[in-house]
Amino acid sequence: MNETRHVMPERAEQIGSVLAAAFADDPVMHWMFPKAETRQGFVTAFMTMACRRSIEVGHAYELAEGSGAALWGPPGVHFYNEAAGIELYGILSTANGDRTDFVLEGLSGLSEQHPEAPHFYLSNIGVDPASRGNGYGAVLLNRILATCDTEGIVAYLESSNPRNVSLYERAGFEVTAEIELPEGPVMRPMTRLPR
């Protein structure tokens, strides 16, 4: 299986659920949504919001059988525009209450890490845990990385889980910084030059 397709708007919630399952043990999701009893619902809402935004900008892709997805923002597009930012704030404030500004402040430093050059931004990528280990992550990455190589465009992501760094490195990404979130885990911005 090596086919991907665009995510259709009616599948945004389903893809949000798939990505939430993929991020169930993610350190940054645990930091953003600290209450275990409500975390999965908030991660699903967050991923669904990101999926809708990625569909809006034309670069949400899923595996043909629906067990994984990659959400990209194209060059020149601010992924978290005003509408997405308002929705993100609503999700975070419902989940965190008085801790919301603390979380947002911690995440705000990541925007400074984006390359100055036009780039594709990988917001989220994940494969359902039952389907891991089959190379599907690479299939999802290659959908846009092939375009990056053909058109000479940089790719950028922020790895929220240390176990994923080697996957991205195999695809040509390099860690450019380590950002320690306040009272939380380390995010690793990674950039890939076109080949």
Identify the architecture of domain 4-192 in CATH.
3-Layer(aba) Sandwich (3.40)
10 Å Cβ neighbour count for 158?
Answer: 21
Other C-beta atoms lying within 10 Å of the C-beta of residue 184: 18
| Average of per-residue pLDDT values in the chain | 94
Radius of gyration of the chain (CA): 16
> Above 70 in pLDDT, residue 1?
no
| Band (2; pLDDT cuts 50, 70, 90) | low
pLDDT at 182 > cutoff 60: yes
pLDDT (mean) for 3-23: 96
> Whole-model pTM?
0.94
Whats the size of the chain, residue-wise?
Answer: 195
Question: Secondary structure of the chain in the HEC alphabet?
Answer: CCCEEECCHHHHHHHHHHHHHHCCCCHHHHHHCCCHHHHHHHHHHHHHHHHHHHHHCCCEEEECCCCEEEEEECCCCCCCCHHHHHHHHHHHHHHHHHHHHHHHHHHHHHHHHCCCCCEEEEEEEEECHHHCCCCHHHHHHHHHHHHHHHHCCEEEEEECCHHHHHHHHHCCCEECCCEECCCCCEEEEEEECCC
Average pLDDT, integer, range 124-149: 94
Residue 108 CA to residue 185 CA, distance in Å, equals 15
Contact 117, 75 (CB under 8 A): no
Question: What are 60-110's pLDDT values in tens digits?
Answer: 999 988 899 999 999 999 998 999 999 999 999 999 999 999 999 999 888
